[in-house]
Amino acid sequence: MTLKETDHVELLIIGAGPAGMAAALAAAPRGLSIAILDDNPLPGGQIWRDGPHAQVPKQAQDMRRQLQRLSNVRLHSGCKVVTLAGPKRLLLEDAERGWLLSYNRLILCTGARELLLPFPGWTLPGVTGAGGLQALIKGGLPVADERIVIAGTGPLLLASSATAQKHGAEVVRVAEQAPLSAVAGFAAGLWRWPNKAIQAITLASAAYRTSAHVLAALGTDRLEGVRVQVGDKVEELACERLACGFSLVPNTEIARALGCTVRNQAIVVDEWQATSLADHYAAGESTGFGGSELALVEGRIAGLVAVGERDKARGLWAERQRWQGFADRLNKAFSLNPALKNLAAPETVVCRCEDVRYADLADHGSWTRAKLATRCGMGACQGRICGTAAQTLFGWDPPLLRPPFSPARISTLACLDEGDSV
């Protein structure tokens, strides 16, 4: 069958990263109508992000080709969810139009974003996230002959370092906040996942230091250097770029708006990848950070369950458990040092959109009280950055995203029926 432009599909998948693509490929043989929404130009998510300087893995290329050959699957790239428009109904927008789409079942594969923690100078031009640096380089940013410092935690630091070096940058320091004992213990257990052991060896860097974290970005109009704590010593390193990533945070905003249970910053799912809301499933890093391998198998399970293939889905549980074991070790080894909560000075900006300082927030007992008093979270990102930082810094519950979930055209909002609200 050919899936035409329609306002209804049997299965809707939000997110075309590894989990979303795997879910669609698993569900497609049943012949039902499937739509995949993604805000990127091409499927692959952040981990398989495309661009002029990107080398998309063969697995991702193969999955893209398979999706293209499926007549019952339609991919909506460059598309965003604007708001809910009733039960099992969403208002969507892409570059050309806005429209309403209803569905029978939904799989959330919304991925994760970087956790950015404020520190003095973090708003200077030249400071980005670690994953953000990777995305910029893949998108064509020239970094040849630039000196770069990468700081934060987790394997993403080494991956970003390798990407930068491959494109001619000099990585002068990779500062991993986890202690050597934790990193060594994690590495010693990688024999259970041979491909990860090989990957770790290929990404090794002489600039790598453990028990190390950024203290401040230095400069006036743009970044000129970085002050880094390395063990008991403090280094000041001249550089043109600083990339910081303090782990990942699941994207749960749409799930929360739908009414799915979220706990410990992740969408709660059962063994079938089912959320607390009937006919709604979730897979990949929106259910917890675990890497592409875990996302792929979770996506396949969700896709199979969504079309009633529970026996086939159960056959994948052992593989999921294997990769969940890797994820558990990873998250334990690279858990954040509580000292990182103290990086910000009183004058450090926390909410970049509204220019709200740490001192302006610290005396408030909740996100809502702080927002009423300071306008934090009321800018373009709607608290996606500062709200997550405030959760880490102060233990506040993150804000519930209010519709519209992202800026939208008036013509798109006009698609709502009478009685619908934004």
Is the pLDDT assigned to residue 4 strictly greater than 50? no
Q: Is residue 113 helix, strand or coil?
A: strand
As given in the structure block, the two tokens for residue 389 are 């930082």
Q: Express each pLDDT in 321-364 by its tens digit.
A: 999 999 999 999 999 999 899 999 999 999 999 999 999 999 99
Confidence of residue 422 (pLDDT cuts 50, 70, 90): low
Sequence-distant (≥ 6) Cβ neighbours of residue 260 within 8 angstroms: 108, 252, 267, 268, 275, 276, 277, 280, 282
pLDDT of residue 76: 95
Domains and CATH numbers, the chain: 8-113+249-330 (3.50.50.60), 116-246 (3.50.50.60), 344-422 (no CATH)
Helices of type H across 108-252: 130-138, 156-166, 180-188, 194-203
pLDDT of residue 111: 95
Please tell me whether the overall predicted TM-score, pTM, comes out greater than 0.85 for this model.
yes
Confidence of residue 2 (pLDDT cuts 50, 70, 90): very low
pLDDT of residue 6: 53
pLDDT of residue 381: 82
**106 residue type, one letter:** L
DSSP state of 191: G
